[in-house]
Chain A
Amino acid sequence: MSVTEIPAPLLEVRDLAVDLPVGKGHRPVITDVSFSLRAGESLGLVGESGSGKSMTVRSALRLLPAGSRVAGSIRWEGEDVYAMSRSRLRSWHASEVGFIHQDPRAHINPLRTIGDFLTEGLRASGVGRRESVEKAEALLERVGITEPRTRMRQYPHELSGGLLQRVMIASVLLVEPKLIIADEPTTALDVTIQESVMAILDDLRRHEGVSLVMITHDLDLAAAVTDRIAVVYAGQLVEEGASGSIHTEGLHPYSVGLLESRPSTTRRQRLRAIPGRPVAAFEAPPGCVFVDRCAHAVDTCREERPSLRPVQRQLVACHRAEDLQAPVVLAAGGAL
């Protein structure tokens, strides 16, 4: 084995393309996605419905339905995820990656207490009863739950959505994962609750060095809480860069359009809406995936699919990126 100066990224996705089985054939859901994540870093995977943002993560974790076709490479600390044995894959999922879903209620057994839910994994791996309970209670406190002992005895239906999402986060922390994947973790929650959940995730990353991939449709939210943002559209990563620069000087017409579509909370003005609707990878035109909705499209955009390349401080998949460099400065806006 050779000694390398730079450690391999925690997660590296290269030239990912995925076709899912549909009926007798296959249908593309991801056509071109690449990104890498270092330990302790957070990445916002931003896109609208059908963009492939959730599928990207499912592919990276090798959680695709049987019969799916995957091209490209996924590496975890340098290890090829698709070459892992079944037992290695199981232990990787169980001990190194935590998944937080949009709807915790659908992922927590309604018939068992919060305490049972939190301790069953530990108990199964041989940890004693008392120790499991103490660990679970400590984690509930860690996520801001003030009466952990009472909560442990309650059933999921007795807890609000926000509380249950905190329980979900605590359950993920039980195994001390290196990476947390949060799929629209606050979309179903009220804003004031969203704030708490985001604060908890942010704190874990800062103080415990956990990496975070957050899947969201909310570019403002991603910009506020992640280091880097990858914008996905129709199965393709169209722009990637530091969260601050994507938010203030995004180059891809889709990233810029997404920001301009958000109604501002500070001023009233007619919205500059992107015409048409978001399309999925299988519906995308042969050239640039965004061409039909783009105000800057020229003939090249219709003929040739642009690939991701460095422009300014970002990576962007747009033929016209240089022409569109004039930075767009936006006032604060945001989803509640």
Chain B
Amino acid sequence: MVEQLTARHLRKEYRLRGGETLVAVHDVSFSVSAGDSLAIVGESGSGKTTCARIVAGLEPATSGTVLFDEQEVDAAQARVSARRWRARQVQMVFQDPYSSLDPRQSVNDSVSEVLAAHGLHDRRERAARTADLLDKVGLPERVGRSKPKQLSGGQRQRVAIMKALAVKPRLLILDEAVSALDVSVQAQVINLLSDLRASEKLAFLFISHDLGVVRQVSDRVMVMRHGRVVEEGSTDAVLDAPSDPYTQRLLDAIPRPGWKPVARAV
């Protein structure tokens, strides 16, 4: 089978001041097939976000390759056509939608701009497609005329998802995309993502620290620590019977009735 996304032997080094090298990602490989949902789980410094940013083309890998349908993508190859092609393969949604939305632009205008950049030149067609997208993410029409600051956190995250969907990508990278939302709103967005995955035949690369969220949205999970993969497998298998002690420790740290937190010396 042709994998939709393949990441092979990703390595990312950062040069620190003073000449030291920080290896954020050591030899990490994974793949996502069409319509699949892979979660990358880990704490801060695990390298999960760096992996996502490499796949999205936001950062070059020090070594390793990223392939879509077995075609190699080189982030350094910055031609507009190549960038557009990549945009239709993969879109990314961030934790804080504020940073990815232009505060001066209405929702409709910002989505319309994306559509125009991808060759939809007819104004009426763009308006129709924007209205369709609003509906898809469960936003009322009037939200389209609003600016980001007039929206609630949940609405802004729906707008970010809508913008990502505008170019009909096949893979959506969600980087802690529901982490900053209030619990009651987070549940709505998780349900929306599940629905969109089915209706749009999307694949997900879901970056999260929250094992509850991961259980709901992913089929497979990869647990990372200090830039390395410590465990991977089907989400149910890994969360029901983790084989790595670190995964077990993550599960044990989840507050629940009768939980007795243990302090570790540092």
Query: Is the Cβ of A199 less than 8 Å from the Cβ of B191?
Result: no
If the complex has contacts A192-B253, A225-B255, A271-B191, are A261 and B186 also in contact, measured as CB distance less than 8 A?
Answer: yes
A224, B183: Cα distance in complex, Å: 17
- Which of A224, A260, A336 contacts B259 (CB under 8 A)? A224
Nearest CB in chain A: distance from B196 CB, A: 14
Residues in B whose Cβ lies below 8 Å from that of A260: 187
If the complex has contacts A263-B212, A263-B215, are A273 and B255 also in contact, measured as CB distance less than 8 A?
Answer: no
Query: Is the Cβ of B188 less than 8 Å from the Cβ of A199?
Result: no
The yes or no answer to B251 lying at the interface (CB within 8 A) is: yes
Q: Which of A81-99 contact B (CB under 8 A)?
A: none
Q: Which of B201-216 contact A (CB under 8 A)?
A: 209-213, 215-216
- Determine the residue in chain B with the shortest Cβ distance to A267: B215
- Determine the residue in chain B with the shortest Cβ distance to A146: B265
Residues in B whose Cβ lies below 8 Å from that of A49: 153, 182
The yes or no answer to B140 lying at the interface (CB within 8 A) is: no
Q: How many pairs of residues, A versus B, come closer than 8 Å at their CB atoms?
A: 156
Q: Which of A183-219 contact B (CB under 8 A)?
A: 190-196, 198-200, 202-203, 217-219
- Which of B212, B235, B240, B266 contacts A336 (CB under 8 A)? B212
Q: Which of B157-192 contact A (CB under 8 A)?
A: 182-188, 190-191
- Determine the residue in chain A with the shortest Cβ distance to B189: A273
Residues in A whose Cβ lies below 8 Å from that of B253: 191-192, 194-195, 336
A244, B187: Cα distance in complex, Å: 23
Query: Is the Cβ of B265 less than 8 Å from the Cβ of A273?
Result: no
Query: Is the Cβ of A336 less than 8 Å from the Cβ of B261?
Result: no
Query: Is the Cβ of B262 less than 8 Å from the Cβ of A220?
Result: no
Choose among B187, B239, B264 the residue with the greatest number of A CB atoms under 10 Å from its CB: B187
The yes or no answer to A144 lying at the interface (CB within 8 A) is: yes
The 10 A-B residue pairs whose C-beta atoms are closest, nearest first, are: A273-B187, A199-B263, A261-B187, A263-B212, A332-B256, A199-B261, A334-B254, A190-B43, A224-B255, A48-B182
